């Protein structure tokens, strides 16, 4: 761990100058307490750094949560061992692709039986929060159980004992994005109205005790729950298809579901603060967590060590070293195919910007995180599903 200054602690051994400068700007905001913590996967973000833990007194920065509110991971350990499985992995990949809408803007055509109670729960929660999600996305309910694109994925993996895991990464989809964009705009408007000078307009905050703050927190909590249920819904569909492919239904040995883009109230260094983890997971002592690698590299099932200086947090993944545009210029489809050797995936140029070489090496990230989490399992994927 590196102490950059009294307001910024850093766990990233790979940290470019622009990311460091962005984190420094955020750390100097007057309401940061006690300090901002940069995780090993830190990289440049919009407003605030991805891979940062931002504790704030009596305020929240909507852009410090990001536009994919509640994005996170879910994993299920099955009763299956790798040697028990059929050899035709393409059949399972295609089955998963049929039951889960992939890519930005792709939703379900109708509400499935498994989604109905989850959608009813979300409607009830929205009513209690005093808003209607329709004001953001007309058919938001059809988004529940859809993956999205970018670094979101569904994988089937085996751990060091050859136990088979189902693993996926997604968030609150379009409805969460619209909620986030609205409140980022409200915060920017409030800052302009009060003539608050900011190092970046996207560091505009909402003050606790105001109607704008209360509205954001209510809708943020709803979007975080949408994201959690979205992962549950997709995992149930993946589990069903896996069971059909493997020969009998999945019996779950373990299920972990955790956010890595979220805000919640916590106590640190003697004060109640709002902790925004933008690309970081909560890692209190004993907390189960999931840290995915990049496409084609290992992922990890971890347990939190409760590191107080990190505000009980850990990294959420590998962290980009190349922007998407830069990755498309630097790498090719043949290179992606070589990086994915032995893994069943849809080989297309759409995924070049997700090539493992565009990310920090996950083994370096995990080495940097050794005082934040304990590794319980190392997962190696053999099937990968993504949206383009």
Mean pLDDT across the stretch 182-204? 93
Give 250-263 pLDDT, tens digit per residue.
999 999 999 999 99
- Report percent pLDDT > 90 for the chain: 94
Q: Kindly list the domain boundaries of the chain, sorted by start residue.
A: 2-385
Average pLDDT, the chain: 96
Backbone angles phi, psi at 21, to 5 degrees: -65, -40
Asked if residue 331 lies in contact with residue 350, where contact means CB atoms within 8 angstroms, the answer is no
The strand pairing partners of 8, in sequence order, are: 5, 36
The pLDDT of residue 174: 95
User: Which pTM does this prediction carry?
Assistant: 0.95
The pLDDT of residue 254: 97
d(CA 62, CA 44): 16
Q: Which residues contact 1 (CB under 8 A, 6 or more apart)?
A: 9, 10, 11, 309, 310, 371
The pLDDT of residue 252: 97
Fold for domain 2-385?
tRNA-splicing ligase RtcB (3.90.1860)
The strand pairing partners of 275, in sequence order, are: 55, 264
Mean pLDDT across the stretch 274-300? 96
Three-class SS state of 258? strand
Pair of tokens at residue 160: 């060091």
Residue 161 pLDDT more than 90?
yes
Mean pLDDT across the stretch 9-19? 96
Give 56-108 pLDDT, tens digit per residue.
999 999 999 999 999 999 999 999 999 999 999 999 999 999 999 998 888 88
The pLDDT of residue 204: 96
The pLDDT of residue 170: 96
Mean pLDDT across the stretch 204-228? 97
Using left for φ > 0, alpha for ψ between -120 and 50, and beta otherwise, residue 319 falls in left
Annotated active-site positions, please?
316
Residue 340 pLDDT more than 90?
yes
Separate counts of helices (H) and strands (E) for the chain? 9, 17
Residue 388 pLDDT more than 90?
no
**What pairing do the DSSP bridges indicate for beta strands 36-43 and 299-304?**
unpaired
The pLDDT of residue 101: 94
Pair of tokens at residue 216: 């954001």
Task: Provide the sign of the torsion angle of the four alpha carbons 240, 241, 246, 252, taken in this order.
Answer: negative
Give 115-156 pLDDT, tens digit per residue.
999 999 999 999 999 999 999 999 999 999 999 988 999 999
The pLDDT of residue 351: 94
**What pairing do the DSSP bridges indicate for beta strands 36-43 and 50-56?**
antiparallel
Q: Which residue has the tokens 């307490």?
A: 33
């Amino acid at each position: 761990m590196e102490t950059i200054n009294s307001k910024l602690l850093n766990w990233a051994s790979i940290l470019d100058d622009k990311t460091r400068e962005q984190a420094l700007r955020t750390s100097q905001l007057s309401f940061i307490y006690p300090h901002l913590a940069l995780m090993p996967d830190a990289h440049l973000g919009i407003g605030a750094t991805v891979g940062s833990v931002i504790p704030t007194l009596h305020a929240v920065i909507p852009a410090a949560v990001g536009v994919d509110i509640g994005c996170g991971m879910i994993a299920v350990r099955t009763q299956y061992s790798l040697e028990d499985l059929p050899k035709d992995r393409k059949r399972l990949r295609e089955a998963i692709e049929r039951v889960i809408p992939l890519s930005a803007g792709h939703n379900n055509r109708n509400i499935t039986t498994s989604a109905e109670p989850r959608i009813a729960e979300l409607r009830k929660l929205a009513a209690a929060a005093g808003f209607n999600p329709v004001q953001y996305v007309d058919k938001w309910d059809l988004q529940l159980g859809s993956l999205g694109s970018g670094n979101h994925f569904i994988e089937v993996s085996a751990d060091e004992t050859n136990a088979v895991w189902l693993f996926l990464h997604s968030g609150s989809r379009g409805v969460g994005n619209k909620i986030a964009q609205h409140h980022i705009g409200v915060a920017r408007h409030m800052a302009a109205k009060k003539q608050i000078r900011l190092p970046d307009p996207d560091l505009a905050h909402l003050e606790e005790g105001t109607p704008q703050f209360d509205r954001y927190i209510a809708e943020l909590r709803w979007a975080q729950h949408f994201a959690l249920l979205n992962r549950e819904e997709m995992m149930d569909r993946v589990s069903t298809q896996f069971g059909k492919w493997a020969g009998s239904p999945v019996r779950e040995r373990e299920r972990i579901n955790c956010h890595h883009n979220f805000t919640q109230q916590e106590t640190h260094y003697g004060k109640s603060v709002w902790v925004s983890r933008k690309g970081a997971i909560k890692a209190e002592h004993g907390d189960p967590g999931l840290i995915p690698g990049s496409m084609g590299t290992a992922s990890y099932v971890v347990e939190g060590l409760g590191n107080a200086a990190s505000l009980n947090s850990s990294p959420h993944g590998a962290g980009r070293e190349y922007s998407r545009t830069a990755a498309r210029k630097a790498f090719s489809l043949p290179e992606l195919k070589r990086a994915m050797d032995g893994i069943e995936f849809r080989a297309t140029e759409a995924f070049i910007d997700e090539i493992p070489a565009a990310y920090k090496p996950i083994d370096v990230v995990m080495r940097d995180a050794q005082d934040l989490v304990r590794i319980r399992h190392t997962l190696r994927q053999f099937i990968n599903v993504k949206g383009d």
